[in-house]
Amino acid sequence: MSSALWIAVLASAVGTLLMRVLPLLWMQRRLERLGDDDGLEAMPQWLSLLGPVMIAAVFGVSLMPVTPGLLSWIATAIGVLATLAVWWVKRTLGWPVAAGVAAYGAVVMLTALVGPLP
Amino acid sequence: MNLDAVTSPGRPWLTGMREAIPLLGGYVPVAISFGLIATQAGFTPWEAVVISTLVYAGASQFLFVGMVAAGAPLWLVVAMTLLINLRHVVYAPNLAPWLTPSRAWPWLMHGLTDQVFALAHARLPELPAAQRLGWFGGAALLAWASWVGGTALGALAGGELVARWALMGEILPFALPALFLVLVAPRFTSRRWALALSLTILVALALTILGFTNLAIPLAAACGALCFQVVKFGPARQEHAKGDRHE
């Protein structure tokens, strides 16, 4: 790798780190300035709104199967339903994820055994 | 939200690691792909590992090696990499109210990926203050290590792995949507939130299907936030972001 390419890697790394760190420092100063009796109240409303919607957006993006196709979408739907069902009953983190992956995997493996749909 | 893992007061980092295990299902196969693609693009395994260690941002890394391989000007490569990672600017401030005084936090922000943010945003408010630093350190370190390790594996033996365990590479990444679903489901606390979050999910999915993966997260989030601000269900049912965020 050339020196110029190393510099590009370092610039990307430092820039990415700064985008993660500088907003934290800004928010921490804001919290200090406003008094941290209730940190949540010191957070701008638009910012507290962005947290949940960013997670929802990441979820939406992650729903895209590795190999898109009718069967992988069916497997995704079944995996989502299995995850939701177990979450509804258990209200925990680990079991719903395990159930979702198991259901998704079962559909994918069954499909591989049976063969593709006509 | 109650979690399976009982928080052990003496070893919160271990709890963080345990709770970050579902992330590995998504990280390792993608990291293996990155290692493989980077070496195919002309990078050595060592260089691929350094990129994963230092940049540590999945989508932008793929773009980086792709643009370099295509001969794009390096200033444009860096600019596009940073543009894709711009969404990260809203993550840390959202966690700030739950971060304890420590000089380690800014350094730990290197590990604040989309997935670690989603997990931390749900978990940090539930943890005692004394355990948050350890918990975050454990979760972020495991995710980072899996990304770097997966890259090394992909760079050194990616072709053989993909050929041998193709099905696993397809199944394991479902751990990510399953995890995010569990993190987002408890936030459907009202019709207003349900509408905004559903719209966000649908827009993100639609943009991804259309091939705009890198734009999907910020654009979908902006749509959802706009929907939350604009749509209200009458004065009696009016909900406020400030009130809801405590849930």
Is B205 found in the same domain as B105?
no
pLDDT band per the 50, 70, 90 thresholds, residue B74:
very high
Which one, of B170, B143, B120, B121, lies nearest residue B27 by Cα?
B143
Instruction: With CB atoms and an 8 Å threshold, state whether B115 touches A58.
Output: yes
Mean pLDDT of chain A: 86
User: Is B122 part of any domain?
Assistant: yes
Instruction: With CB atoms and an 8 Å threshold, state whether A62 touches B26.
Output: yes
Residue where a domain stops, chosen among B153, B175, B197: B175
A43 touches chain B (CB under 8 A): yes
Per-residue pLDDT, B245: 42
Alpha-carbon span A90 to B28, nearest angstrom: 27
B216 → closest Cβ in A25, A55, A57? A57
Question: Residues 6 or more apart from B9 whose CB is under 8 A from it?
Answer: B128, B130, B131
Is A74 found in the same domain as A39?
no
Residue A81: give the domain boundaries: 63-118
One-letter amino acid at A1 equals: M
Is B98 found in the same domain as B40?
yes
Look at chain B and report how many structural domains it folds into. 2
Is A30 found in the same domain as A81?
no
User: Is B181 part of any domain?
Assistant: no
Residue where a domain stops, chosen among B145, B175, B205: B175
Residue where a domain stops, chosen among A54, A73, A97: A54
Mean pLDDT of chain B: 86
Q: What is the pLDDT of residues A104-114, one digit of tens each?
A: 999 998 988 87
Instruction: With CB atoms and an 8 Å threshold, state whether B22 touches A94.
Output: yes
Interface residue of B94, B107, B133, B215 to substitute, partner A, most A CBs within 10 Å? B94
Q: What is the pLDDT of residues B95-107, one digit of tens each?
A: 999 999 999 999 9
What are residue B73's phi and psi, to 5 degrees?
-60, 140
Residue B204: give the domain boundaries: 188-247
Instruction: With CB atoms and an 8 Å threshold, state whether A24 touches B92.
Output: yes
Is A86 found in the same domain as A44?
no
Alpha-carbon span B28 to B179, nearest angstrom: 15
User: Is B139 part of any domain?
Assistant: yes
Is B216 found in the same domain as B158?
no
Report for A70-79, A91-100, B9-18, B208-217: range of highest mean pLDDT? A70-79
Is B221 found in the same domain as B197?
yes
B173 → closest Cβ in A24, A66, A83? A66
Look at chain A and report how many structural domains it folds into. 2
Is B207 found in the same domain as B167?
no
> Span A87-100, mean pLDDT?
84
pLDDT band per the 50, 70, 90 thresholds, residue B242:
very low
Is B124 found in the same domain as B26?
yes
